């Protein structure tokens, strides 16, 4: 039962904002900062390879192939004798970290989507334009840029835009793309 996952009561608008700030902004910022620090410390001339969760879900094999090429492993995994990615299974599929919520947010008993929508409606358009866009297009499985204020500061109150999907022509994602100001 989806309601049994509840640990801290209802998932309110305020809790949603806290979670988004902590996980979507805080973790992303820390990860990117750490990756660039490591790259500089190792005197690497290559930028870190950017992997976004949404890209793994929608285009895992493209992300994996790009990562292996970035690590100069071609399409062969460490210890694998085959160049066929399907022969050894995906590094993403064999990962012990699994998505806890696999259904849309509103399908959980501890989430009252009318309250979340009301909070966004009352504040959005003006206060949380990125969150409102993502809420309205949640079922489309899009990958989004970071929410940025016009000054370029990362903020929940910033605007964002859907990023171009990864496919056979567009095979990688860049940090610049993730942090680009929304088109006007």
- Which of 7, 14, 1 is CA-nearest to residue 112? 14
Q: What are phi and psi of 69, to 5 degrees?
A: -65, -40
All residue ranges of the chain with pLDDT < 50 are 1-6, 78-79, 81-87
The predicted pLDDT at position 24 comes to: 83
For the segment 9-50, what is each residue's pLDDT rounded down to a tens digit?
788 888 889 988 898 888 888 888 888 888 888 887 777 888
Secondary structure (3-state) at 16: helix
- Residue 146 is predicted with a pLDDT of 93
- Cβ distance 147 to 25 under 8 Å? yes
Q: What is residue 102's predicted lDDT score, i.e. its pLDDT?
A: 66
Q: DSSP character for 157?
A: T
Q: How far apart are CA 69 and CA 92, in angstroms?
A: 16
Q: What is the pTM of this model?
A: 0.76
pLDDT at position 149 is: 93
């Amino acid at each position: 039962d989806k309601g049994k996952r509840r640990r801290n009561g209802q998932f309110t608008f305020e809790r949603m904002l806290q979670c988004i700030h902590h996980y979507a902004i805080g973790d992303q910022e820390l990860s990117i900062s750490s990756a660039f620090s490591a790259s500089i410390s190792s005197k690497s001339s290559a930028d870190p390879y950017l992997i976004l969760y949404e890209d793994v879900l929608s285009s895992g094999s493209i992300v994996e192939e790009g990562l292996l090429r970035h690590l100069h492993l071609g399409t062969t995994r460490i210890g694998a004798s085959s160049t066929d990615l399907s022969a050894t299974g995906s590094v993403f599929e064999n990962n012990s970290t699994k998505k806890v919520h696999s259904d849309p947010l509103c399908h959980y008993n501890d989430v009252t989507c009318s309250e979340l929508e009301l909070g966004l409606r009352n504040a959005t358009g003006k206060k949380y334009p990125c969150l409102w866009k993502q809420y309205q297009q949640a079922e489309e499985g899009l990958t989004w840029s970071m929410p940025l204020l016009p000054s370029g500061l990362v903020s929940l109150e910033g605007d964002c835009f859907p990023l171009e999907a990864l496919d056979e022509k567009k095979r990688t994602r860049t940090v610049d793309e993730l942090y680009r100001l929304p088109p006007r």
